[in-house]
Amino acid sequence: MSKELNGYYATVLDSVGDGVIVVSLEGLVTLMNPAAEEMTGRSRRQTLEVPFATAFSSEPLLVEMVARTAASGISRSDQDNVVLKSSGRLIPVNATTVPLMQPDGEAIGVILTLRDLTSIRELEAAVRQADRLSTLGTLAAGLAHEVKNPLGGIKGAAQLLERELDPDSELLEYPRVMIRETERIDRIIRQLLELASPKGPRYSPVNLHRVLGDIILLQREVASAREISIATGFDPSIPPIMADEAQLTQVFLNLIRNALEAMTEGGRLTVTSRVLADYQLGRTEGRNRMVAVEVADTGPGIVPENLPKVGTPFYSTKEGGTGLGLAICQKIVAEHRGMLKIDSQPGQGTRISVLLPLVQSPVKG
């Protein structure tokens, strides 16, 4: 093969987003593209001309796949079990091995391709969460209706009692507790109904930065009273997107409130927006441009074992919290065909990203 042609093929391979590793029949790594270096956390310098089984001894599944394809000449694929450990990050991948053959059919090695499934797995998790919510929602709506009427009766009776009692009576505390607690139940029920509500988004062009600016303006006082500074970084090129303004307001308000509530000893709230080019949301959706709004705090963070519970209805670590705030956010964002991502480092803070499709308002005229 001519030198230029060689360079041409090398450039093509270097530009492919999937990881590609070629192993010779002797079992040595003969080629590795940058995507494979990044996913496996190994450099070409470390691996080229090194036995694959040695260089990748910490990935026994891959070693086995390569060995089997080399021995049998049969392609293999695994998209459920391979998780690569690269620079502290776990990457679920679809690994495929195919025999590398010369035009005459003689096998001269094995090609291993690795496809990063992170964004697909994240989407699958979001879909599972949405499923769980819809079952729960139906149940909750029924229950909420049943509870609402008797609750109104209890509150009314307690208010009557409060009025009838002597203003100096020690007993006054009791009806007051009853009233306070019925109001709390009422709040839970309203939130539950919100969560269960079948009404989807009503779309119109929404200026995200105006919505965020309004919320931040309203929260400034709360923030400064708690010694929390607020920083924003908006990408001015983001156009109005098609969304339900009232619902998105609720999402951002919930997230910003959570962030402020987390920072009991002061800190910094950062709200930013940016465009994610070509973010892939699952296989069928194709590549869409997404907008990411990120709400980050410098609070205590969430310990890893609690992360899966966050956003599950009724999970709350706060006194008086309903634990429905994030569940509602998740539902709204999913209905907008977006997703919510939580990144948290205990002791450092939490960042919640709201990813929304960048669907622009239809141009009139």
Ligand X SMILES: Nc1ncnc2c1ncn2[C@@H]1O[C@H](COP(=O)(O)OP(=O)(O)OP(=O)(O)O)[C@@H](O)[C@H]1O
If the CB atoms of residues 62 and 192 are measured against ligand X, the closer one turns out to be: 192
- Cβ(258)–Cβ(325) under 8 Å? yes
Residues 6+ apart with CB under 8 A from 328: 191, 194, 195, 250, 251, 254
Rounded to 5 degrees, φ, ψ at 359 are -100, 120
- Cβ(126)–Cβ(330) under 8 Å? yes
* Interacting residue with ligand X among 55, 215, 223, 259 (CB under 6 A): 259
* Interacting residue with ligand X among 316, 334, 343, 361 (CB under 6 A): 316
* Interacting residue with ligand X among 192, 326, 339, 359 (CB under 6 A): 326
Cα–Cα distance measured from residue 262 to residue 251, given in angstroms and rounded to the nearest whole number: 17
Cα–Cα distance measured from residue 184 to residue 180, given in angstroms and rounded to the nearest whole number: 6
Residue 318 binding ligand X, by CB under 6 A? yes
Q: Going residue by residue from 278 to 317, which x/- string records binding to Mg ion, judged by CB under 5 A?
A: ----------------------------------------
If the CB atoms of residues 146 and 183 are measured against Mg ion, the closer one turns out to be: 183
Cα–Cα distance measured from residue 69 to residue 113, given in angstroms and rounded to the nearest whole number: 13
- Cβ(354)–Cβ(150) under 8 Å? no
Number of residues forming the site for ligand X (CB under 6 A): 20
Spatial strand order of the sheet with 228-233 comes to 228-233, 267-280, 287-297, 349-357, 339-345
CB of 341 to Mg ion, least distance (A): 17
Residue 219 binding Mg ion, by CB under 5 A? no
Helix H or strand E segment including 351: strand 349-357
CB of 267 to ligand X, least distance (A): 10
Residue 288 binding ligand X, by CB under 6 A? no
If the CB atoms of residues 33 and 219 are measured against Mg ion, the closer one turns out to be: 219
If the CB atoms of residues 262 and 356 are measured against Mg ion, the closer one turns out to be: 262
CB of 302 to ligand X, least distance (A): 5
If the CB atoms of residues 113 and 322 are measured against ligand X, the closer one turns out to be: 322
* Interacting residue with ligand X among 267, 325, 338, 357 (CB under 6 A): 325
CB of 220 to ligand X, least distance (A): 18
Residue 325 binding Mg ion, by CB under 5 A? yes
* Interacting residue with ligand X among 40, 182, 258, 353 (CB under 6 A): 258
Residues 6+ apart with CB under 8 A from 311: 129, 326, 327, 329, 330, 340, 342
- Cβ(252)–Cβ(295) under 8 Å? yes
Residue 353 binding ligand X, by CB under 6 A? no
Interface region with Mg ion, contact rule CB under 5 A, candidates 107-115, 240-248, 256-264, 287-295: 256-264
- Cβ(184)–Cβ(320) under 8 Å? yes
- Cβ(39)–Cβ(86) under 8 Å? yes
- Cβ(146)–Cβ(205) under 8 Å? no
Residue 267 binding ligand X, by CB under 6 A? no
- Cβ(357)–Cβ(338) under 8 Å? yes
Number of residues forming the site for Mg ion (CB under 5 A): 2
- Half-sphere exposure in the Cβ direction for 312 (13 Å, CA): 9
Interface region with ligand X, contact rule CB under 6 A, candidates 65-73, 127-135, 145-153, 320-328: 320-328
Binding region for ligand X (CB under 6 A)? 254, 258-259, 262, 297, 299, 302, 310, 315-318, 321-327, 350
Binding region for Mg ion (CB under 5 A)? 258, 325
